[in-house]
Structure formats: structure tokens, C-alpha cells
Structure 1
Amino acid sequence: MGLFDKKEPETIEVAGHALVCPICGGTLFWSREAQLNTSMASFFNLDWANKSATCFVCAKCTHISWFLG
């Protein structure tokens, strides 16, 4: 499907609040998972053991907001 999981961006809620882009005020986002690689894990080929984060990419300005957990 390409770079983003869904074809159309959507509104996102985080901790009971609508996500608003801190840069442009946009309210539509694409979501995707990203792995948080560390140099030590990469050195030993253990990238699979690194944590991952959920990223929301603003559909208006492409600012990326990262969330752990």
C-alpha cells in the first residue's frame, strides 16, 4: 500500500484528547510503527529486541509525532 498504512489520513485520539499538530494545527494524520534502534543492539544484530513507537504523520505539514507504549 505504500508508505502509510491507510490511504486516507484520520483523526487520532491520545489519552482521551484529539491529536493536533503542534506545527500547523492539522487534525488529520497517517499512522505507522517505527522501530527505535540502538547502536548496541544493531552491532550484535539484535534490532528485533528494540522497542517500537507509534508515529502519527500530519497530513498537512508532515510533522511526525512519536508515542511509546
Structure 2
Amino acid sequence: MGLFSSEVPTAQPVQRGGVDLKCDHCGHDRFYQGEAQLHTLTGTLFGLEAFEGSADYYTCERCRRMHWFQQ
């Protein structure tokens, strides 16, 4: 979903590494999915952000706790 997209995100069950994800805080099993670029100070200073990693994150539909998984 893009920044100016009219799509409404829907929470869905998630499986990572063959395990169904459950929220660590409330035990709920539906999440909104997103992806984030990871940055370091050194990479930012030298303009190397494109070579740094990214991570998937899942936000619990119920309590909004975020669960992060490095790619």
C-alpha cells in the first residue's frame, strides 16, 4: 500500500518460520503488515542507506504492539 493509496489495510493471520504469530502482549492473532528500511549512523553519513537491511513489522490489530522481524 502506497502513501497516497485509497486501499484500506486489513489485519490478517501471520506465519513466520512455520509458526503462527500471536501478540506477545494480548495474545491476538491478526496483524497489519509493513516493511521498514533500517539505517545506521555510518550508513546515513556516507549515503549508503540503500545497502542497509530492512525489516518486516506486524502491528497487532487489537493492542497495536509492533513485532519486528529482520529480513
TM-score normalised according to structure 1 size? 0.86
Gaps of 5+ in 1: none
Q: Which residue of 2 aligns with 1:45?
A: 47
- Identical positions, percent: 32
| Distance (whole Å) between structure 2 residues aligned to residue 2 and residue 63 of structure 1 | 22
SS of residue in 2 equivalent to 1:48: helix
Cα RMSD (Å) of the superposition? Answer: 1.9
Contact 1:33 1:53 in 2 (8 A): yes
Q: Which residue of 2 aligns with 1:56?
A: 58
TM-score normalised according to structure 2 size? 0.84
Give the aligned length. 68
Gaps of 5+ in 2: none
Among 6, 12, 15, the alignment partner of 1:13 is 15
Runs of 4 or more above 4 Å deviation? none
